[in-house]
């Protein structure tokens, strides 16, 4: 069935996933604004704490997540053109890229814990652990969803629903969107 | 379609490296504003190109644009 994405009720991926996306953005957005507010009250300490973060890993992680998002977008494009094997391959590469993000983040977490920069170290680090931790969980959930979507493409091929594929992809891109705001606010702006 | 995805991806990576480079120097209000604006451009590129929001009803587009403008404005004011 052809879906008219121009209708307010049928954005790409379906209305439900977009409601989830905006609620998630709102929640993370409020937490980031709280971080910015407290940071503006205690600029020097937030600057000192932020300088202890590894910007190289964060930049590399941003590129990894963007690469993954690009591969998923290409995968959806191939699915629409009925190139199912290509869709599956691109989703697999996207998942590996996402896995790279998770592992690199674990390396960063390990570094921080070794340096004693845990959640109780300062308010900045409380925000750091909560925001990046919840984001990490989102990426993990996104990986599982992508895995199911990929399996559905491989098994059902033509019968796999485009809306399901787009919804899975949209959730994955949500992880990109959140990270694209977390990256500057945590690593660059203090 | 294919090309617009590739161009968007290249743009996103270039912007990422650019903001990282900008942040490595002294952070003036001007630099903070530029970093926020460039980060929002990336945010919208992902939304409109990768998530295909460009094909959706204006309501969904305005929500994403409005969210970005609001949060970006507050970041600049607070920082």
Q: Could you tell me if residue A61 is inside a domain?
A: yes
Structural domain spans, chain B: 2-78
Inter-chain CB proximity B39 and A181 less than 8 Å: yes
Q: What is the pLDDT of residues A67-90, one digit of tens each?
A: 999 999 999 999 999 999 999 999
**Using an 8 Å Cβ cutoff, are B72 and B36 in contact?**
yes
Q: Could you tell me if residue A64 is inside a domain?
A: yes
Who among B19, B47, B79 is closest to A39 (CB)?
B79
The whole-angstrom separation of Cα A174 and Cα A17 is 10
Who among A12, A59, A181 is closest to B52 (CB)?
A12
3-class secondary-structure state, position A118: coil
**Using an 8 Å Cβ cutoff, are A150 and A29 in contact?**
no
pLDDT along chain A (190 residues), means of 10: 74 92 97 96 94 94 97 95 93 97 96 94 96 97 96 82 92 97 95
- Partner B contacted by A8 (CB < 8 A): yes
Inter-chain CB proximity B16 and A59 less than 8 Å: yes
**pLDDT value of position A47:** 93
Who among A26, A173, A187 is closest to B50 (CB)?
A173
User: How far does the CA of residue A56 sit from the closest CA of chain B (Å)?
Assistant: 9
Number of domains in chain A: 1
Q: Could you tell me if residue A9 is inside a domain?
A: no
Domain that holds residue A42: 15-188
- Partner A contacted by B53 (CB < 8 A): yes
The whole-angstrom separation of Cα A105 and Cα A88 is 26
**pLDDT value of position B2:** 64
Average pLDDT (B27-44) is: 95
3-class secondary-structure state, position A134: helix
Specify the pTM: 0.93
User: Which CATH number fits the domain that encloses residue A42?
Assistant: 1.20.120.80
Rounded (5°) CA angle A54-B76-B12: 55
Structure letter (DSSP) for residue A162: H
**pLDDT value of position A5:** 74
Categorize the per-residue pLDDT at B9 as very low, low, confident or very high, splitting at 50, 70 and 90. very high
Residue B44 has pLDDT above 80, yes or no: yes
The whole-angstrom separation of Cα A35 and Cα A50 is 12
**pLDDT value of position A160:** 74
**Mutation to test the B interface, candidates A20, A31, A35, A66, most B Cβ within 10 Å:** A66
Inter-chain CB proximity B67 and A36 less than 8 Å: no
Count H helices and E strands in chain B, helices first.
3, 0
């Amino acid at each position: 069935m052809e879906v008219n994405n121009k209708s307010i009720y049928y954005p790409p991926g379906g209305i439900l996933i977009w409601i989830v996306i905006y609620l998630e953005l709102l929640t993370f957005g409020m937490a980031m604004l709280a971080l910015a507010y407290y940071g503006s009250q205690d600029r020097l300490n937030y600057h000192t704490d932020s300088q202890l973060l590894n910007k190289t890993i964060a930049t590399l992680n941003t590129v990894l997540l963007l690469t993954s998002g690009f591969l998923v977008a290409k995968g959806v494009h191939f699915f629409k053109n009925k190139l199912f094997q290509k869709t599956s391959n691109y989703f697999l590469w996207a998942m590996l890229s996402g896995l790279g993000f998770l592992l690199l983040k674990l390396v960063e977490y390990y570094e921080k814990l070794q340096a004693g920069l845990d959640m109780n170290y300062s308010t900045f680090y409380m925000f750091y652990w909560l925001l990046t931790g919840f984001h990490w969980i989102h990426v993990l959930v996104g990986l599982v969803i992508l895995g199911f979507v990929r399996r559905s493409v491989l098994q059902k091929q033509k019968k796999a629903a485009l809306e399901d594929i787009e919804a899975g992809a949209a959730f994955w891109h949500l992880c990109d969107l959140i990270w694209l705001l977390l990256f500057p606010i945590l690593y660059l702006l203090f | 379609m294919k090309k617009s995805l590739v161009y968007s991806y290249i743009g996103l990576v270039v912007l990422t490296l650019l903001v990282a480079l900008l942040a490595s120097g002294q952070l003036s209000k001007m630099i903070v504003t530029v970093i926020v604006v460039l980060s929002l451009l990336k945010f919208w590129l992902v939304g409109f190109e990768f998530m295909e929001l460009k094909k959706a009803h204006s309501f969904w587009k305005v929500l994403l644009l409005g969210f970005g403008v609001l949060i970006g404005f507050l970041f600049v004011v607070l920082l």
